[in-house]
Chains A and B, each alone.
Chain A
Amino acid sequence: MLKTECPVCGADVELNDGTVKGELLECGECGTELEVINLDPLSLAEAPKEEEDWGE
């Protein structure tokens, strides 16, 4: 099990050993959708969100 911290709320986040770069997950504490941006060192970022006016 891999462990890191949510970049938004600082809560502990656990990831499976088979996690791959680009994988999306949700923080159990603040509900933010997160993206694995690096595996070594393990790093998460807020996933890009679709804005309401996308495509306009």
Chain B
Amino acid sequence: MSKLKISIAGGSGYTGGELLRLLMTHPQVEISQVTSERFKGKPVARLHPNLRKRSELKFSSLSELENCDVLFLCLPHKSSSKKINEFLGIAEKIIDLSGDFRLNNADDYKKWYGEEHPNEEFLGKFVYGIPELHREEMKNAKLISSAGCNATAVILGLYPLYKNKIIDIKKSVAEVKVGSSESGNESTPASHHPERAGCVRSFMPTGHRHTGEIIQELSFGEKIDFNFSATSIDMVRGVLATSHVFLNEDLDEKDIWKIYRKEYSGEPFIRIVKENDGIYRYPEPKLLAGSNYCDIGFEKDRNSNRVVVISAIDNLMKGAAGQAVQAFNIMNGFQETTSLEFTGLHPV
């Protein structure tokens, strides 16, 4: 079987580096080009030192992109949407890892991104990139929009409860604690080590763009209300989402277990983590670094109808490159877990 020729547009960032790491050992892939305007001509290992002696690739310019089978876009916000027609002339299949095509309509895009979409006719044409929700659509898709990292953690944690309509859809709140790699590899005063180290910084108490994705994907029939906050903590990789939802019927923990089992049994990258013994009884992002798992736990409040759902991912993996490769495998008919079987490290 001949290998698929893939290219990565915007490969100097952390997500691009993670994609390279995963795809360079993918048995059905030949990496053709990786682009970076700032670093064109430089070896990719200069930016991604974990790839030393593993890749001889050098960065190209976007203008040098040649035709390929699948193009991954890891470009800054709005770059994919402005040039989408150009990219479609290069590859028939595109997986975009930016936020440009995640929302299905122009009104929602304007609400959450604060501006008009430059190519709004494409909104709704991309399959939203969480395989656990959209696997069947992905099998025939040519365009996939990878989901936001925080949104992925929240959506996967809550999807079974919303899908089964056992939640009061007007009352939910989620808080995510996130690592510094979510901010990318460009430094800012806020990312300067003396400022960033040891921080517990509430950076988006309301209005986070990922809220739009969460509402879109968890609305089954009636549109939900959703409240979302994000806090930076002293961690490089990882998202921990703690979601508070309220049952609209009297269910016990065993009922909730059954709902999660019904929706997720057989999912290769979902683990229900709810143990009453041991050190890590609920999901912990540090155990997931480098893996494509989403670990999900929950507890029903014995004094109310509240359920606390705890979900954890590696933001660069299940929240970005790993999930994109999972989608790539599905859209091309490959084994879904190819290149994604790393279990994570312990201790770490």
Contacts and interface: CB of A to CB of B under 8 A. Distances in A.
A11 B253 contact: no
Interface of A is mostly: loop
B274 A30 contact: yes
Nearest to A7: B254
Given A30-B275, A49-B277, A8 B253 contact: yes
Interface residues of A, number: 12
B257 interface: yes
A29 B273 CA distance: 9
Given A8-B253, A10-B254, A49 B261 contact: no
Interface in A26-45: 29-33
B54 interface: no
Contacts of A49: 276-277
A32 B272 contact: no
B258 interface: yes
A9 B276 contact: no
Interface string A1-17: 00000011111000000
Contact of A31 (B253, B254, B258, B277): B277
A35 to B, nearest CB: 14
Given A33-B277, A46-B276, 13 more contacts: A8-B254, A8-B257, A9-B274, A10-B254, A10-B255, A10-B258, A11-B257, A29-B257, A30-B257, A30-B275, A31-B276, A32-B276, A49-B276
